[in-house]
Chain A
């Protein structure tokens, strides 16, 4: 069974803090990794993608990939209440199918 695992949370952080979201995956052949944000009642929205080991930064977001350990993480700096959402980790397993984790709920308190 090829899986993507995330802690369901909620992860609670105060405004201005760094939120760290983690994801592990089972398929060593995975090559593409994505983070989606999903507000309650809305559809997922792509916020970050990473293909190579290391860090990738985009504004307040940093994606980190460690293929040897089979984990990918998302850091959100200077967290804002508007960042409160469920964050879905998605991993490409197979030629084209994205497998999603169940998501981590993030709550940022003012």
Chain B
């Protein structure tokens, strides 16, 4: 696609429910990243994929968070048993490769609200 696509754009859920967030990267980009941004805060790194593998998942805040990527393309971030502190904008980004010089291009994000 022309850009990074994320869905849904907004998600409201009840505490304790599971949610799935989807990211479709720019076509041909091998690297994919998930970040989250809480109100007034910077971007917090969650996980990085190179192809279908995740060489760096050091930012996942707890075992309630997991992510997978299939076919070297679409990625899904799953949050189980959501908590109010999970409320944030979840941003996905992709880059042509995973090298240090790689430029990240962001999607428009998913605004998650946990009531």
| Residues in A lying within 8 Å of B, measured CB to CB | 31-32, 34, 42-46, 49, 51, 88, 90, 92, 94-103
Contacts and interface: CB of A to CB of B under 8 A. Distances in A.
Interface of B: 31, 33, 35, 41-43, 45, 48, 50, 55-56, 58-59, 91, 98-109
A11 B72 CA distance: 41
Contacts of A44: 43, 91, 106
Contacts of B107: 43
Contacts of A46: 103-105
Given A44-B106, A46-B105, A88-B43, 12 more contacts: A31-B101, A34-B104, A43-B91, A44-B43, A44-B91, A49-B101, A88-B42, A92-B101, A96-B31, A96-B98, A97-B45, A101-B42
A31 B104 CA distance: 15
Contacts, number: 61
Contact of A51 (B42, B50, B101): B101
A95 B42 contact: no
B55 to A, nearest CB: 7
Nearest to B41: A102
A95 B101 CA distance: 10
Contact of B108 (A31, A32, A42, A92): A42
Nearest to B43: A100
B106 A96 contact: no
A94 B98 CA distance: 11
Contacts of A102: 41-42
